[in-house]
């Protein structure tokens, strides 16, 4: 019977995640049909003269798992013994001593640069559209006004706005391709706007 040796939580896992559990910035890593929809939207933007800089597409579920549990344990919102296992991430959250477990998790919070949002009791999420390959973060820029083709072939004149969250005309163009804008987070477009 094969046995696996687990490594205790701590800064080692930050290095490990940066080598083995990174997110992607490639549209190819999205899932269909969102992949084709995002690609068509980006093509329409670029054909119209916009510059599209894709920042992130699919996020690693392993990285999300490490973020989630180190945040909860490091901030004392969960006990190390409560952490679930994840295949392919042989981490030992429980050091056999509560303070040591917390210290190991805190090293990871710091190493990952995780924020501790004020008043938040919610840890970084285990599931999301990004993790499912159904969301894309991108910066879209152009000068003045461009005409962008919607999926039905009609053109929409769209002014550039510094605050993309307020650019409802651009949102409508994206929606025609099935890329829906989340209006709280500037770079985020997804299958359902979440």
Partner 1 sequence: MVIDETRLSRPELRASRKRDTIVSMKRCCPLPIRRLHRPLVLCGAIPILLIAAVSCRKASETRQPAAAAAGVAFPFTERIGWFQGPCLAISNQHLARGTSVALVVTGEPQKVQQARSLEQTTAPTTCKALMQGRAAINAKPGISFYALETGSVGSTDMGIGLVEPPASLAVVNGLARVDLDQDGQSEVFSSCATSEGIKFAVWTGRAYQGEPRWSGYYYLGYDLKPNCP
> Interface residues with partner 1 (CB under 8 A)?
23, 53, 55-56, 59, 63-64, 67, 109-110, 113-120, 122, 124-125, 127-128, 130-131, 137, 139, 182, 184-188, 194
CA distance 194 to 189: 8
120 three-class SS: coil
- Minimum CB separation from partner 1 for residue 194, in Å? 7
- Minimum CB separation from partner 1 for residue 1, in Å? 36
- Minimum CB separation from partner 1 for residue 172, in Å? 21
Q: Beta strand pairing status for 51-56 and 135-141?
A: antiparallel
Nearer to partner 1, 7 or 165 (CB): 165
55 three-class SS: strand
Residue 78: both structure tokens together:
């969960």
CA distance 127 to 175: 23
- Minimum CB separation from partner 1 for residue 48, in Å? 21
Nearer to partner 1, 35 or 68 (CB): 68
Nearer to partner 1, 40 or 78 (CB): 78
- Minimum CB separation from partner 1 for residue 14, in Å? 11
**Phi/psi at 12 (5° precision):** -55, -40
**Phi/psi at 111 (5° precision):** -65, -35
Nearer to partner 1, 120 or 154 (CB): 120
Nearer to partner 1, 28 or 119 (CB): 119
CA distance 25 to 30: 10
């Amino acid at each position: 019977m094969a046995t696996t040796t687990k490594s205790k939580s701590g800064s080692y896992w930050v290095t490990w995640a940066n080598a083995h559990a990174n997110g992607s910035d490639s549209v190819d890593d999205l899932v269909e049909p969102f992949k084709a929809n995002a690609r068509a939207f980006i093509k329409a933007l670029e054909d119209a003269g916009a510059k599209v800089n894709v920042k992130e597409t699919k996020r690693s579920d392993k990285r999300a798992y490490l973020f989630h549990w180190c945040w909860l344990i490091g901030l004392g919102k969960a006990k190390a013994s409560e952490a679930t296992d994840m295949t392919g991430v042989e981490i030992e959250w429980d050091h056999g001593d509560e303070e040591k477990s917390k210290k190991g998790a805190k090293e990871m919070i710091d190493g990952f640069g995780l924020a501790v949002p004020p008043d938040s009791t919610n840890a970084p999420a285990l599931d999301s559209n990004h993790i499912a390959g159904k969301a894309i973060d991108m910066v879209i820029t152009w000068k003045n006004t461009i005409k962008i083709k919607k999926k039905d072939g009609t053109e929409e004149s769209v002014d550039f706005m510094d605050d993309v969250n307020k650019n409802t005309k651009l949102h409508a163009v994206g929606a025609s391709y099935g890329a829906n804008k989340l209006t709280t987070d500037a770079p985020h477009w997804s299958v359902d706007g979440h």
